[in-house]
Structure 1
Amino acid sequence: MATLAGIATVATEANSQTGFYPRTRIFVRSEFAQLRTAIVAQSQIRLPDESFLTEAQWNYILSFLPQESIPLVKALRGHDLSEVDSGLQKQWEQERANLAQLLQAHRVEVLRPDLLTTEQKLAGGIAGYSNSFVRDPWFTVGNNVIEGALRFPHRRLEVLASRSLMDSRVYPASCSYIAAPQPDAVPLPSPPSTTSVDNSPYIEGGDVLVVDRYVFVGLSGLASSKRGVDFLRKHLGPQGYIVQPIKLAPNVLHLDCALGFIRPGLIIVHAPALLEGLPPQLRGWERIDVTKDEAFELATNGLPISPYVYVTDPAFKHIGDRIARKGVKVEYLDLRVSRKLGGAFRCSTQALWRE
């Protein structure tokens, strides 16, 4: 049986030989704790057939995108991006490769999900498929790995691409691993003006932001649901976590599209999207405020590598300059294709170890 002293010796030797921590730990303390192991997304997407949804439903789910993204998204209905624009597909793949290289340059271990198989794509049927934003289908809080339940039907099976990572990294680690109950067989979120009711436990990683024992969860109607919050509380509450819902404007997909953490005491936020204001725990923090248009372009969806290094897009250089004045080094990487498709740096990564 290994002793604590023996484990410490192994860790010390690993550090001295490689400069890295041993890769057996799964734990996320906060959004800005030192990033040590991260998954970088693949780039596969096919939206549902146009006839799969009503016009009102399509308009509702398009409401969270900037206007310049809408023609591309409409063209993807019933088609894989590689069929619609092979050049754009290659640019998207290169963005993720560049992101992986940037993280590795900061001594972050980078893992990748599998590509979807033909059978997995076919399983989506006319609802389509996605393997594009690894943040959402599962997430980590403390030493809890949690598979979510996604509201959009083309994303329902997205977690399958990460299952080999669960086998190789999660099962051997000292952590829990649970999955949310399956959602009901409904097509998509309906506009708020309709009378449809869906009590499914949707919970998506883009809505879940962790700061020590606080777990903030966004609720806009497009992604996570109250029942999803109940599911998180059921599992995390006994461990001492406080799960705090944040009501979002109905055209905000996820909480990280309106609120982001940079370092302790500093956030980036589009405050009007938080319908009841910032939660009390964050009201004393310094703020970098962004406009509605900047939020739609995903200005809040940067990625802290540590409390001292933050990654964002060169499109937000003017915001990065404000962040740099707070004593944080800002790294820039072009993620324009990812942003066209509704996600940026946080959406494109999944932290396994932040501590």
Structure 2
Amino acid sequence: MSDTAFEFGAHSDFGTLREVIVGIADGLTLPPFGKDLSHYNDELREALVANGNKPLDIKAHFPERWEQTAEQMAGVAATYERFGVKVHRVRPYTAEETRHLEDLQQGWSQLYTADPVFVIGKHYMEVSIRRAYRRKEVYPLRDMVLPMIEDDPDAHYVAMPPAAPWTPSGEGPGPFLEGGDILIHGQDIFVGEGELCSNVAGIAWLKRYIERWGYKVHAVPIKGPILHALGIMCLLREGLLMAHLPSLAEGLPEPLKDWDVIEITEDEMNAHATVGVSLDDKHYMIDPRFNRVMDELGKRGIEPVPTPCDAIGFWGGAIRCITLPVKRDAT
């Protein structure tokens, strides 16, 4: 361990952000179309179907979109650095890693670092994602994060049980737990549960693991084929959140019922308005397309930080998805 210990951990969704890992677009190759990819937009679904039963090389098929995606990811990283956040970029896959689990689902991606792993407090968790082609993402992230954990004597590292092999990919008993479903507010942890995201078995594992440290896990049932809870809701500061309320099957969870809500439309939800990132409780990174939402943020004392991510969003995610916070304050 170094003389000055690294203070690993993410303790909220809106405390001051200190250090992150941002994904990369290198080698992006998507699987043949299946139910677990039904959240994709029409153009992308049609391209996957037309490609037949083989993976689609995105840089070759969508060269301009791929270039725009890589440029916007670099822009997100530059915005973090402008606000004093330390940025790491994940390394590309090895040849062996790209082939891992290809018998279950072909393809590989390293866009969205926030899904296959997650940090709650000082706990680094390799979780269990539905789409088999994405489960290999833990390996490059592990290489980057393990030295941080080893440098912090209070950090914990756990890998949850892998999902049972199943065809088609994304179905079966799991357990499934995805970082894109997890929101942190102090000791309260909110986890989306739905047909395309985390399931009951995955949430049960998280409860058994994390609640011994004083956390309380709240399942948040999602209505319809929505990929993640972060696509519906985000926590902006104490007492203020943004959400598409009709997509919450049981409404807001009890600890959030009295919070002020910036309500978004279905179109704003589908365009990933809630999938920005809070740099602290006064600054929120968001695509500049969302003029109405930015006005609502400004009315409540939160400064929007315009950060283009429409190209990133074409593949089904946005700023928060490509960002894994490894150091974020509680407030």
Q: TM-score, normalised by structure 1?
A: 0.86
Higher alpha-carbon Rg: 1
Does 2:17 correspond to 1:35? yes
Does 2:96 correspond to 1:119? yes
Amino acid at match of 1:171: E
1:180–1:168 distance in 2 versus 1, CA, 3 Å: same
CA drift of 1:170 comes to 2.0
Q: Secondary structure at the match of 1:133?
A: coil
CA drift of 1:69 comes to 4.6
Determine the structure 2 residue equivalent to 1:48.
Answer: 31
Per-residue deviation, residues 243-282 of structure 1 (Å, max 9, x unmatched): 0001001311000000011111111100011000000111
Does 2:44 correspond to 1:61? no
Separation (CA, whole Å) in 2 of partners of 1:185 and 1:234: 23
Determine the structure 2 residue equivalent to 1:25.
Answer: 7
**1:307-322 maps to which residues of 2 (within 5 A)?**
307-322=281-296
Separation (CA, whole Å) in 2 of partners of 1:100 and 1:74: 33
Amino acid at match of 1:183: A
**1:73-92 maps to which residues of 2 (within 5 A)?**
74=49, 78-92=55-69
CA drift of 1:168 comes to 2.3
Structure 1 unmatched runs, 5+: 11-22, 51-57, 191-197
Determine the structure 1 residue equivalent to 2:108.
Answer: 129
Determine the structure 2 residue equivalent to 1:189.
Answer: 170
CA drift of 1:87 comes to 2.5
1:101–1:170 distance in 2 versus 1, CA, 3 Å: same
Per-residue deviation, residues 99-151 of structure 1 (Å, max 9, x unmatched): 11100110001111111122211224352112110000101101101011111
Per-residue deviation, residues 175-210 of structure 1 (Å, max 9, x unmatched): 0000110111113235xxxxxxx3222111000111
Q: Secondary structure at the match of 2:316?
A: coil
* 8 A Cα contact 2:163 2:174, kept in partner: yes
Separation (CA, whole Å) in 2 of partners of 1:276 and 1:166: 36
Structure number having the greater helix percentage: 1
1:134–1:296 distance in 2 versus 1, CA, 3 Å: same
Q: TM-score, normalised by structure 2?
A: 0.92
* 8 A Cα contact 2:32 2:49, kept in partner: no
Per-residue deviation, residues 70-100 of structure 1 (Å, max 9, x unmatched): 4455567612211212232221111111111
1:128–1:69 distance in 2 versus 1, CA, 3 Å: closer
CA drift of 1:236 comes to 0.8
* 8 A Cα contact 2:38 2:45, kept in partner: no
1:261–1:68 distance in 2 versus 1, CA, 3 Å: farther
1:336–1:166 distance in 2 versus 1, CA, 3 Å: same
Determine the structure 1 residue equivalent to 2:118.
Answer: 139
Separation (CA, whole Å) in 2 of partners of 1:166 and 1:352: 8
Does 2:276 correspond to 1:296? no
Q: Secondary structure at the match of 1:151?
A: coil
Q: Secondary structure at the match of 2:289?
A: helix
Does 2:232 correspond to 1:258? yes
1:123–1:257 distance in 2 versus 1, CA, 3 Å: same
1:62–1:129 distance in 2 versus 1, CA, 3 Å: closer
Amino acid at match of 2:165: A
Amino acid at match of 1:189: G
Candidates 65, 71, 87, aligned match of 1:94? 71
**1:176-325 maps to which residues of 2 (within 5 A)?**
176-186=156-166, 187-190=168-171, 198-325=172-299
Amino acid at match of 2:155: C
Separation (CA, whole Å) in 1 of partners of 2:313 and 2:10: 25
Amino acid at match of 2:78: Q
Separation (CA, whole Å) in 2 of partners of 1:237 and 1:131: 30
Q: Secondary structure at the match of 1:156?
A: helix
Determine the structure 2 residue equivalent to 1:108.
Answer: 85
* 8 A Cα contact 2:194 2:225, kept in partner: yes
Amino acid at match of 2:313: R
Q: How many residues get paired? A: 322
Q: Secondary structure at the match of 1:218?
A: strand
Equivalent pairs: percent with the same residue?
A: 27
* 8 A Cα contact 1:46 1:154, kept in partner: no
Determine the structure 1 residue equivalent to 2:316.
Answer: 342
